[in-house]
Chains A and B, each alone.
Chain A
Amino acid sequence: MKVRIDRERCQGHNRCVDMCPGVFDTDELGYAVALAGVVPPEHESDARDAADSCPERAITLDEDGG
């Protein structure tokens, strides 16, 4: 599974880093960054919940990627 964050859409709600800290982090302004382009298998479920809870729809997961 691959993860991509749309930096134009992210407004720093920080729901992703809260729900799935194994995949998401924040920069110095509080905007989301992905720790790696590929989601470790053990974090896939949390990553899906985080993507589905992003108020700005800024997270894209590619289930076939990685």
Chain B
Amino acid sequence: MAKTKPAAGGRGGNESDPNGESSNFNPWDPEQRPHRAAQFAAMRSGCPFAHTEHDGGYWVASRYADVFELAHQTNLFASSPGVMIPPIPRAPQMHPMETDPPRHEALRKLLLPRFTPKVMAGWKPKVRGVINGLIDDFIEDGEAELTEALVKPLPMFIICTMMGIEDDIDKFWGWIENIIYGRLEDDPTAMNGACDALYAYMTELVAKRRAEGGGEDLVSLLLGADLEDSWMTEADMIGTCFFLLIAGLDNTGVGIRNGLRHVASDAELRDRLHGEPRLVATAIEEVLRLYTPVSGLCRTATKDTELEGRPVAEGERVLLLFASANRDETEFPDPDSFRVDRKINRHIAFGAGIHRCLGSNLARLEIRTAVEEVLRRMPDVRLCEGEDPDWFGFDPLRVEFTPGVREGEGA
């Protein structure tokens, strides 16, 4: 569990925060997390550019229009200094998420064709097969803890297959969790150790693929591209691989978990989706809006500027709080309610602008297919008695259901 560090500047003493609501804002504080909807709403209405003293101090953009605008001002608000708060000090630069124009474009264009809707549709049978194999392992039990049984193994299998590293599949979750969630601990030892281990793995992988050449996987794609005169160094190649794995696991996994969590907690919705599977796609967009997996990423001011009159110095950071933008009442009527028929849904759970999530179609494929197959095989799936899991991270997701039969080979 993350510990709350005392705010260096104290509470409510910030001139830019007249309501005293936000100077202690920390999206990672487990004490604050249960109240985040009200907290976001208070920031949007009272202080849309709050300043918090946590994690070295940063600004927080909470309104939809502001987050959208800042995401498009790539000259004034850069990604290359790092977009994570708190940062991962020993991580390589994670391309292309932490790459600015003009370098960003060539790498993005190299990777984009592997993640289009058409290419992803070709992966659907594989994704469905993985899910059903995982469900077979617990379908006869009548109960399961879905985070370990389905949520984590699914994206692991898919991204590792895409990267051609499925033989090492058992190594990664421990590293990734220590990196992403170890950031929130006071003691950085576990995070640093995991970071170094993953970096060493990717260094070896890049060297191995370079020696072999010609593979169809994402790593071979990077190495095989005509980047001789490009800016990408060996460290940048490694940083890209490092990022692809982390993004393919953590954010995707949280999205899958939130989709399953919501369906298992709302019997009426569950039954409706079971009867009308075509509604799953719309429902998943609403899950992404309401339980945004990546709650925020930051940008760094490239020169002295201001945010609605508040002076922002070069080098200061602004958190683009997507999770709050996605609940902005000026963009979404009845913003804190889950509405399965919310057809018009301009959510920015995958960001906006040139850094729009590269893997958004992969994430959608995995989340939708997981919900479809769970509903098909466990139509009465529900949270176990007394369970009320949060939508942050990878806490257990315990469900019960009428036992079913195995479908796979040797069933």
Nearest-CB residue, chain A, relative to B357: A13
Query: How far, in whole Å, are A24 and B237 apart by their CA atoms in the complex?
Result: 34
Report B-chain residues with C-beta under 8 Å of the C-beta of A54: 346
Contact of B115 among A18, A30, A53 (CB under 8 A): A30
The residues of A that contact B350 with a CB separation of less than 8 Å are 13
In angstroms, Cα B344 to Cα A52, docked, is 6
Assess the B117–A26 pair: CB atoms within 8 A.
Answer: yes
Of residues 22 through 66 on chain A, the ones whose CB sits less than 8 Å from some CB of chain B are 26, 28-30, 49, 52-56
Query: Which chain A residues in 1-21 approach chain B with CB under 8 Å?
Result: 11-15, 17-19
B104-146 contacts to A, CB under 8 A, are 109, 112-113, 115-118
CB atoms of A11 and B117 under 8 A apart: no
Nearest-neighbor residue (CB-CB) of B108 within chain A: A29
Nearest Cβ on chain B to A51's Cβ, whole angstroms: 9
Contact A56-B352, Cβ < 8 Å, known A14-B360, A18-B281, A26-B118: yes
B contact set with A: CB distance below 8 Å: 68, 109, 112-113, 115-118, 281, 285, 343-348, 350, 352-354, 356, 360-361
B352→A53 contact, CB < 8 A: no
Q: A12-B356, A18-B281, A56-B352 are in contact. Are A29 and B116 (CB under 8 A)?
A: yes
Q: Check A11–B113 contact: CB distance below 8 A.
A: no
A26 to B115, CA, bound (A): 11
- Report whether A29 and B112 are in contact in the complex, using a CB–CB cutoff of 8 Å: yes
Contact status of A14 and B117, CB under 8 A, knowing A30-B112, A30-B361, A55-B352: yes
Min CB gap B225→A, angstroms: 14
A18 lies within 8 A of B113 (CB): no
Whether B356 contacts A49 by the Cβ 8 Å rule is: no
B359–chain A nearest beta-carbon distance, Å: 11
Contacting residues, chain B, for A52 (C-beta < 8 A): 344, 346
CB pair B116 A11 closer than 8 Å: no
- Would A11 and B352 be within 8 Å (CB), given that A18-B117, A29-B112, A30-B115 are in contact? yes
Extra contacts besides A17-B117, A30-B117, A30-B361 (14): CB < 8 Å: A11-B352, A12-B356, A13-B356, A14-B116, A15-B285, A18-B117, A26-B116, A29-B112, A49-B343, A49-B344, A53-B344, A55-B68, A55-B352, A56-B352
Q: A28 to chain B: which residues have CB within 8 Å?
A: 113, 116
Q: A14-B360, A26-B117, A30-B112 are in contact. Are A55 and B354 (CB under 8 A)?
A: no
22 cross-chain CB contacts under 8 A = A12-B112, A12-B356, A13-B350, A14-B116, A18-B281, A26-B118, A29-B109, A29-B112, A29-B113, A30-B113, A30-B115, A30-B117, A49-B343, A49-B344, A52-B346, A53-B343, A53-B344, A53-B346, A55-B68, A55-B346, A55-B356, A56-B352
Nearest neighbor of A19 in chain B, beta-carbon distance: B343
Interface pair B344/A55, CB less than 8 Å apart: no
Query: In the complex, which residues of chain A have a beta carbon less than 8 angstroms from the beta carbon of B109?
Result: 29
B112 neighbours in A (Cβ, 8 Å) = 12, 29-30
- Chain B: minimal CB distance from A12 (Å): 6
B280 to chain A, nearest CB (A): 12
